[in-house]
A and B are shown apart, each in its own frame.
Chain A
C-alpha cells in the first residue's frame, strides 16, 4: 500500500518530487445541485485517446475528445511517462477511466446524467500549456450542459 512519497521506492519518489507543482490562489468551490441532478463529465489526465488520434507529445497541454459511446477497444494511451503501471489499464479500462461506473451510477439514479463527450489530457503537461485549453474546454462542457467534472489522474 502506498501512503506517502516516503513509502514509495526511492527512485520513483525522487522522480515525483521533481515534477513541477505550482501553487495557486484558492479557487472557491462552487455550489451546485444534488448529485442526482448533475450532469457529469470525466476529465482524465492519463493521455488517453482514440486509436488514430494524434498521440500526446512532451509539453503537450491540449486534450483529446472521447465521445461517451467510444468502445473500450478504441482507446489507447500515449502518456509520455513510463513511471506508472499500465497493466491495470491493459486489463480494464475502468481502473483508469471509470466510464462504465459512471454509466451505472446514472442508470441507478445516483447521478443525473452523463456528458455526451469526455476528455483526456496528458498529465505531464506544464500547467501554463494546459490553461488556455482548459478554458476552452470549460465552454464546451457548458455547451453540453455539464455541471460537474470528475478529474481522474494516472
Chain B
C-alpha cells in the first residue's frame, strides 16, 4: 500500500491511505497514512456499520490537507475483541464422520449458502468460474494424485472456502466469524483435504505448487495442524 502512495504521489496524484501494520508503514514512509488497529482484512473496521466506516474514511481523507509528510496519524477509535463463544458448536451435523465425502459435504451446505446469498444480497464466490461440485471434484482429484495447476487449485479452494464460510453465516446459531473459522478448520472435510494436500504440493517439482503449499493455502494461524 505505502509503495503505491510513493509511486502515485511522485506522478502528481496526492495520496492518503490506511495503514493496518504500523511497523511496515514506519519503514515505507508514504506521504500520509492513517494507522488503524483493526483486524487484518477489515481496514474500515466494522462490517455493516456505516457511521463507523464513514468516520474512518473521512479521517483518512482529512490527511490530504497536510503537506508535512511523511506522516502517520493514529486513528483514535479501537474495536474490542468479539466475545469468545468457545463453547459454540456447529448446530448442523456436518462433522466429518457424518458425511462420507467432500462432495456430500459441499452438497449439504448448498441450502445454507443459498440462504446466506439471499440474506446478504451477494456472494464473493466466483473467482474460479467453477460451480462448487466441480471445485470439490478438483480437490478430490488432487488428493487422488492428479494435481491441477497451482492457480486452478488456488482459485477453486478459495472459492470453496468462501462458499463454506458464507454458508455458515446463515446457520441458525451462526456464532462469530472466529467460531465459524474454527468450525471450518476443526470439522470440515474440505479443511482436512487442504491439510492432506499440503505435503503433496510441497513435494511437487512445480515451484508454483510449492508456493501454494508453503504460503497461500494454509493460513499461518492454522499451520500447526500440519503433521
The answer to whether B79 and A138 have CB atoms under 8 Å apart is no
Interface pair A87/B61, CB less than 8 Å apart: no
B37 is contacted by which of A3, A24, A123 (Cβ under 8 Å)?
Answer: A3
- The answer to whether B62 and A35 touch across the interface, beta carbons within 8 angstroms, is yes
A96-B57 CB under 8 A given contacts A30-B67, A90-B169 = no
Q: Is A86 in contact with B41, judged by CB distance below 8 angstroms?
A: yes
CB pair B12–A138 under 8 Å, yes or no, is yes
- Interface code B4-40, partner A: CB below 8 Å = 1, 0 otherwise? 1111111111111111111110011111100001111
Beyond A12-B220, A34-B65, whether A1 also contacts B43 by CB under 8 A is no
- The smallest beta-carbon distance between A18 and chain B, in angstroms, is 10
CB nearest neighbor in B for A45: B1
Q: Which of A80, A83, A102 is close to B219, meaning CB atoms less than 8 Å apart?
A: A83
Question: Do residues A27 and B5 form an inter-chain contact, with CB atoms below 8 A?
Answer: yes
Interface segment, one of B91-99, B132-140, B154-162: B154-162
Residues of B within 8 A of A109 (CB): none
Q: Smallest distance from the beta carbon of A88 to chain B beta carbons, Å?
A: 4
Contact of A98 among B19, B44, B48, B79 (CB under 8 A): B44
- Beyond A11-B224, A127-B3, A154-B41, whether A82 also contacts B18 by CB under 8 A is no
Given A29-B66, A82-B217: A24 and B12 interface contact (C-beta under 8 Å):
no
Provide the bound-state CA to CA distance between A148 and B40, in Å. Answer: 24
User: How many whole Å from B190's CB to the nearest CB in chain A?
Assistant: 13
Question: Which residues from chain B contact A121 at a C-beta distance below 8 Å?
Answer: 4
Question: At the interface, yes or no: A117 with Cβ under 8 Å from chain B?
Answer: no
Chain B positions within 8 Å of A4 at CB level: 22-23
Bound Cα distance A32, B154 (Å): 43
Contacts of B155 in A (CB 8 A): 55, 78
Interface centre among A75, A84, A102 (most CB of B within 10 A): A84
Q: Do A96 and B43 touch (CB < 8 A)?
A: yes
A134 pairs with B7, CB closer than 8 A: yes
CB distance from A38 to the nearest CB of B (A): 7
What 1/0 mask marks residues of chain B from 151 to 182 whose CB sits below 8 Å from any chain A CB?
A: 10011001001100110010000000100110
Cβ of A66 < 8 Å from any Cβ of B?
no
Closest CB pairs A-B (n = 7)? A138-B11, A85-B41, A151-B17, A29-B69, A84-B41, A73-B122, A134-B7
